[in-house]
A and B are shown apart, each in its own frame.
Chain A
């Protein structure tokens, strides 16, 4: 984009699914109609031969067009709208407002409370800032945050007017250079989270104890930040917010300052204990999504299987709930595979069952590590050697460096193909105390008609 500003024509190569993200990034940086040449598919998992073929048959012409033709076939819409600030943009019933907002991509998929002018004005009473103040400019959209649009998102999320000072500070934190909101669109699924410190915790009843993210005002506060990231920062799932398997709702934490044996987070970071602060953090909170690729010495399928084995070795449930016997407690492992990864496995001859059996045979860890985890992290104070006699049938070992099998059976592994069809990522869920339960959905006779309304 900087080359374009210097008068040097350029073309950006992006893989399928990421063209819009590149165009939106250019728009936010002040370049209209950036030329993007689309490489077909998930290049990271393609072998060199396939890459060369895709370049010769598809990409080459697109690169040439990008450097010689100035009119792109399509252009991404700008994620924000500056024209409607402070004005009534729609009038309708609750359902109509929700439908309109969903059509504008202003919601997170859940119903919202309509941000009326009257409600917004009430929210503005809780701040000394002037209504037309620019609170911040948020990347990646480089869109302006103001009191009315922050209040609108807060209302939509279910916040109360007295949450405004906290949310204003959170917006300012989102705009900090060090927070780097601009980089949050990663396919690994980065998610902001909110941490509250200081007297405001008690004043607003923000939960800091058991089940804290699910109680009190915490869910609404987190949701408000999620809507602000969408509507003011300009992140849209599938356009420039590219987490392969999507995002859960942003959650809000508060530190239990009465029970920490140390300085609270905000004091540690230079604030007075009597001040109230909000911190924006980041997490891959429902699991990092590794991206198995191909390499000169191993193909994508082999690397995928090895990545999955390594991921399984980090899943504590496999130490805690190894399971033996027909009715034993056992772990449940769910693998999310994006389509390029699944196709890579299938293309190398692996059925779903073969994948499970590979993992059963090869997901292992040294007995010394297994014993340590069992003894000190599992809450189960029994030696694993007896429990694992069944698991290691035919391969029972005692030496510390011997590799012990982690899965009690191939059948505790469940494989689901989903996620971005253009990205090579996997995610491994662990769970316990439950086994999958599936029921057929029964429909009334006129279901097709009902479903279409």
Chain B
């Protein structure tokens, strides 16, 4: 029976990765920003989540998604990255200690 020695059809990785930023120790006096992509009912889910977070952590400040720009659709990869960098810079400017983004589906 013929034996085949075969190559891999997979693409090779070029990205060097870094780990995520350090997490929060607690939510006392912290500011969390909401970033919505404009779809999948973030207008229902973010207010509900915000209310729950504030109930559990009364000292927490939440900057609602309405304070950040959002868009969804057929942007190119470069446009998406530029927009994400803009959002991240804006979060820093607004004093966000953390971000919640969504909704992916």
Contacts and interface: CB of A to CB of B under 8 A. Distances in A.
Given A15-B103, A91-B5, A80 B74 contact: no
Identify whether the interface residues of A are mostly helix, strand, loop, or mixed. mixed
A394 B87 CA distance: 60
A60 B49 contact: yes
Nearest to A227: B9
Contacts of B7: 84, 86-89, 115-117, 120, 148-149, 152
Identify whether the interface residues of B are mostly helix, strand, loop, or mixed. mixed
Interface in A388-422: 422
Given A30-B16, A91-B4, A80 B10 contact: yes
B6 A80 contact: no
A10 interface: yes
Given A10-B98, A15-B105, A87 B8 contact: yes
Given A13-B101, A14-B103, A97-B4, A70 B20 contact: yes
B8 A32 contact: no
Nearest to B36: A13
A117 B6 CA distance: 6
A10 B33 CA distance: 9
A143 B77 contact: no
A145 B10 CA distance: 8
Interface residues of A, number: 100
Contacts of A122: none
Interface string A168-209: 000000000110101100010000000000000000000000
B13 A82 contact: yes
A294 to B, nearest CB: 9
Interface residues of B, number: 61
Interface in B46-105: 48-49, 52-53, 56, 74-78, 80-81, 84-85, 87-89, 91-92, 96-105
A97 B103 contact: no
A6 B100 contact: no
Contacts of A81: 8, 10, 12-13
Given A2-B81, A5-B88, A70-B22, A93 B45 contact: no
Given A67-B24, A106-B10, A149-B8, A8 B99 contact: yes
Contacts of A18: 104-105
A143 B13 CA distance: 5
B87 A3 contact: yes
Contacts of A7: 21-22
Interface in A13-66: 13-15, 18, 21-22, 27-36, 39, 42-44, 46, 48, 51-52, 55-56, 59-60, 63-64
Interface of B: 1-27, 32, 40-41, 44-45, 48-49, 52-53, 56, 74-78, 80-81, 84-85, 87-89, 91-92, 96-105
Interface of A: 1-15, 18, 21-22, 27-36, 39, 42-44, 46, 48, 51-52, 55-56, 59-60, 63-64, 67-70, 78-94, 97, 101, 104, 106, 114-117, 120, 137-139, 141-146, 148-149, 152-153, 156, 177-178, 180, 182-183, 187, 227, 231-234, 293, 422-423
11 contacts: A3-B91, A8-B98, A11-B100, A33-B19, A35-B20, A67-B32, A70-B23, A91-B6, A92-B3, A144-B14, A177-B76
